[in-house]
Homo-oligomer: A and B are copies of this chain.
């Protein structure tokens, strides 16, 4: 069992649910997970898992119910537009066992936005105002169609710029845990050389999650050592120990990529 399972049990947790066939077909490269994960760590919310699932009602409903049961928060992206494959709002209503209907304030926001742009409302466009009963709206400053929150589930657009605006609006209102930060040191040693002393360091610091990530720099193998946790002083001490450990093994520190 790795340190991470132990170190932040007091923090709120989050699961991220990325919804959309295009993510599973390889057509679209997700960019939302990294954005949310980085911001959540700064807020002290630990991401326990991410799932990427297709636009299939039964799958979305079952996954939502599992994730919202097991986490403080669930953040979803995708499937809240006007087309036939946008079924997330209906699935959230089903998962919570509530009705879904046109939300007056959402409709008003959209009508005003469309009027200003000469866009005619139609039944499909108005689907974007269909919101599970009892939900709170999440403002969309980019294209007006709102996200929403039901219980501990936050439902956001898939388009990164819109998702980010919605997420930024939501984040300040969420419970805070201790900020999760990290220190990184890069070197030119192989993982096999570092593994012994790293294992020892990890067992001395069970509150900190130490990872080793091989890669390349200027065509040569390089390893980045990363320590993550909530105790800034402990992380600073570990950074020094990582540098010492690399020096002891005859390695050079490389600039972080």
Contacts and interface: CB of A to CB of B under 8 A. Distances in A.
Contacts of A58: 1, 5
A-B residue pairs, 7 tightest by C-beta:
A124-B195, A26-B37, A125-B192, A26-B38, A50-B52, A83-B212, A84-B199
A190 B114 CA distance: 12
Interface string A176-199: 000010100000001111111011
A53 B47 CA distance: 9
A57 B1 contact: yes
Contacts of A226: 22, 27
A125 B195 contact: yes
A213 B41 contact: no
A210 interface: yes
A57 B2 contact: yes
Contacts of A20: 211
Given A83-B191, A202-B84, A228-B21, A196 B26 contact: no
Interface in A1-42: 1-2, 4-5, 20-31, 33-38, 41
A180 to B, nearest CB: 8
12 contacts: A2-B56, A20-B211, A22-B213, A25-B38, A25-B41, A25-B180, A26-B36, A48-B54, A49-B53, A81-B214, A85-B210, A124-B196
Nearest to A40: B26
Contact of A47 (B2, B25, B28, B209): B25
A122 to B, nearest CB: 6
B54 A51 contact: no
A53 B20 CA distance: 19
Interface residues of A, number: 71
A56 B22 CA distance: 29
Given A2-B56, A2-B57, A196-B122, A35 B26 contact: yes
A239 interface: no
B51 A212 contact: no
B37 A25 contact: yes
A159 interface: yes
Contacts of A53: 49
Contacts of A37: 24-26
A252 to B, nearest CB: 17
B2 A24 contact: no
Contact of A83 (B82, B198, B215): B198
A87 interface: yes
